[in-house]
Amino acid sequence: MCGNVPAGHIWLVGVCSLDDVLFPEVDVRLEAVEFTAEVLVVVAAACGPPPRCPGCGARARRVHSSYERRLAERPLAGKKLLVRLRVRRFFCDRSRCRRRTFVEQVSGLSERYRRSSLGLKGWLRQVAVELGGRAGERLCRRMHLVAGRTRLLGLLEPPTEPERSPRVLGVDEFAFRKGRTYGTLLVDVEAGRVVDVLPDRTSETFAAWLREHPGAEIICRDRATAYTRAIKEAAPDAVEVADRWHLLQNLAAAVEKTCHQHRACLRKRADEETARVPEAPPLLQLPLHELPRTQILERTRHRHADVHKLVAAGWTVSAITRRLNLDRKTVRRFRDTDLDQLLASAHERRPAGVLEPFKPYLNGRFTESLGQVSGSRLFLEIRERGYKGSRQVVRRHLAALRAGTAEPVRADLPSPRKITGWIMRPQDTLPPDLARRLLDVRIACPDIARACDLARAFAELLRNRRGFLLNEWIRQAEQDGPKPISGFAGFLRGDLAAVTAGLTLHWSSGVVEGHVNRVKTLKRAMYGRASFALLRARILIRP
């Protein structure tokens, strides 16, 4: 170290261990270190062998000149680090080369036109991959890195597209905007990574991708008909595998529809059981003039009227979907289901009030006193029995009883969704109390009992990979199953080969669904402002 070194400077002579810390395996010579309160400046010079010309590839022999570059580096000891790098400009002596001079690039440290080191570029790229633009900019500010959101997003370059499709390809859709615009996700099921992202979910786009990328032997998909058409058109030799999770989901929807259709059987059985219990408190049976005018019920009435008006005018399901901005399945449900059933289903989805378990007692006390009991007294009585609500709720119910507008209190019935959950669960995991309630439901309605048997039989085929028994199950379901279950069986028959493969092979779309969830996370983090190209880049870049 020299004796006349100005304050804030350290001159280094010869080889120093600091070289290995700052520039490991990089051909530079460390000359000096300058430091201030916030910035650490490292002065270095390139000292590697003469490079090759980027135009013709010839090795340089003559130095033209040198100049200094400033490169931002990763922070050191909580301070910003700036590298003042002296590089050489060389002549290109080949006469046929269009370049006359060129500047050397230090491998592992610099690249052309960039004012940051390759190490800092790698850091910023990882920040952009994980957090995106604005969130990444905030993190960089805390890490003493100078990087705006535009610079971060500019580092996201998608990997090169493979020439061939993976052997086992998974395909599924995801929503850019739910209910409106969708894209397609293509996944290598064996490797568990995303292969490509398509801007829509049409069969033409997917078929074109399959033609440009041959090699798919097995394709895992859901029940979307567009993907089926594309596979049959562009990859007819590939084995289609229907996803097992979607099959169970479709079966559960058929079971729930059966439970909805036979709700009256459960109500009748519950009323009979209540009437046979002599010690049950007398219930005040008040007529229900009409369902309450809640928002969901009014929307159901208007939607049913709009759909049937357009159906009567000869509109197709697709045209009604576009006109009312609804899903095709929603339009079909309102077209094929009675209004009373739709209203009952919507009415049952409302949350049970805190007073609901105590209404039989209140109605009984009201009947015994001939309507002369006070609301405050009833409030004190049910509070001793565990009521946690307010006094005003009790008074409102008592006023409805006196006005004759209160709903009749009936036995508590499990909702169709609850019954479906009991049926679809494996029998050995169902608690004894729920098993008893399911047994009561089966006794009350033979159709629900048959749907339960068929659903459990199908679940056994799926879980044990017994696809060879699928034809027999379809025959039984179509022969004596409830209408929704027989409709599901007919749907399976129309896609028999793919469903049989799904119930036989171990391949499935599980890894694809996992990546769809990752896409949802990325999309929501970008708040819908990202272009398709940027979203595609973030999806394809592996963290």
Q: Are residues 35 and 95 in the same domain?
A: yes
| Residue at 291 is within a domain | no
Q: Are residues 20 and 100 in the same domain?
A: yes
| Residue at 420 is within a domain | yes
What six digits make up the tokens of 21?
Answer: 């810390």
Q: What is the structure's pLDDT at 210?
A: 94
Degrees (nearest 5) of the Cα angle 124, 125, 131?
85
Half-sphere exposure of residue 209, counting CA atoms within 13 Å on the CB side?
A: 24
* Last residue in a domain, options 73, 97, 115: 115
| Residue at 75 is within a domain | yes
Q: Are residues 17 and 46 in the same domain?
A: yes
* Last residue in a domain, options 98, 115, 132: 115
Q: Which of 312, 293, 289 is nearest to 302 (CA)?
A: 293
Indicate which CATH number applies to the domain containing 525: 3.30.420.10
Render 274-339 in DSSP notation, one character per residue: HHH-TTSPPP------S----HHHHHHHHHHHHHHHHHHTT--HHHHHHHHT--HHHHHHHHHS-H
What region does 386 belong to: left with phi over 0, alpha with psi -120 to 50, or beta?
A: left
Which residue range forms the structural domain that includes residue 60? 9-115
Q: Are residues 81 and 40 in the same domain?
A: yes
Q: Are residues 46 and 74 in the same domain?
A: yes
In angstroms, rounded to a whole number, what is the distance separating the alpha carbons of residues 538 and 518? 10
Kindly tell me the sign of the dihedral angle through the C-alpha atoms of 16, 22, 26, 27.
negative
Contacts of 361 (CB under 8 A, 6+ apart): 281, 381, 382, 385
Q: What is the structure's pLDDT at 37?
A: 77
Q: What is the structure's pLDDT at 250?
A: 92
β-sheet bridge partners, residue 194: 187
What six digits make up the tokens of 347?
Answer: 């009415």
Q: Are residues 183 and 236 in the same domain?
A: yes
How many Cβ atoms sit within 10 Å of the Cβ of residue 88?
Answer: 19
Q: Are residues 519 and 473 in the same domain?
A: no
Number of domains in the chain: 3
In angstroms, rounded to a whole number, what is the distance separating the alpha carbons of residues 472 and 285? 49
* 8 Å CB contact between 29 and 44: yes
Q: What is the structure's pLDDT at 451?
A: 93
* 8 Å CB contact between 48 and 9: no
- The SS3 assignment for 98 reads coil
In angstroms, rounded to a whole number, what is the distance separating the alpha carbons of residues 512 and 185? 8
* AA identity, residue 136: G
Which residues in the chain land under pLDDT 70? Answer: 1-21, 270-294, 344, 346-353, 404-412, 527-529, 543
Q: What is the structure's pLDDT at 452?
A: 94
Degrees (nearest 5) of the Cα angle 13, 15, 18?
100
pTM for the structure as a whole: 0.65
| Residue at 288 is within a domain | no
Q: Are residues 18 and 106 in the same domain?
A: yes
| Residue at 40 is within a domain | yes
Render 369-383 in DSSP notation, one character per residue: TTT---HHHHHHHHH
What backbone phi and psi angles, to 5 degrees, belong to 239? -85, 120
Q: Are residues 451 and 475 in the same domain?
A: yes
Q: Are strands 193-198 and 239-242 parallel, antiparallel or unpaired?
A: unpaired
Q: What is the structure's pLDDT at 409?
A: 54
* 8 Å CB contact between 213 and 234: no
* Last residue in a domain, options 51, 85, 115: 115
Q: Are residues 111 and 13 in the same domain?
A: yes
* 8 Å CB contact between 27 and 106: yes
Q: What is the structure's pLDDT at 422?
A: 93
Q: Which of 7, 81, 83 is nearest to 38 (CA)?
A: 81
| Residue at 159 is within a domain | no
Q: Are residues 495 and 517 in the same domain?
A: no
Burial class (CB in 10 A: 0-12, 13-18, 19+), 96: exposed
| Residue at 484 is within a domain | yes
Q: Are residues 17 and 111 in the same domain?
A: yes
Sheet with 193-198, strands from edge to edge, namely 193-198, 181-188, 168-177, 218-221, 239-242
| Residue at 433 is within a domain | yes
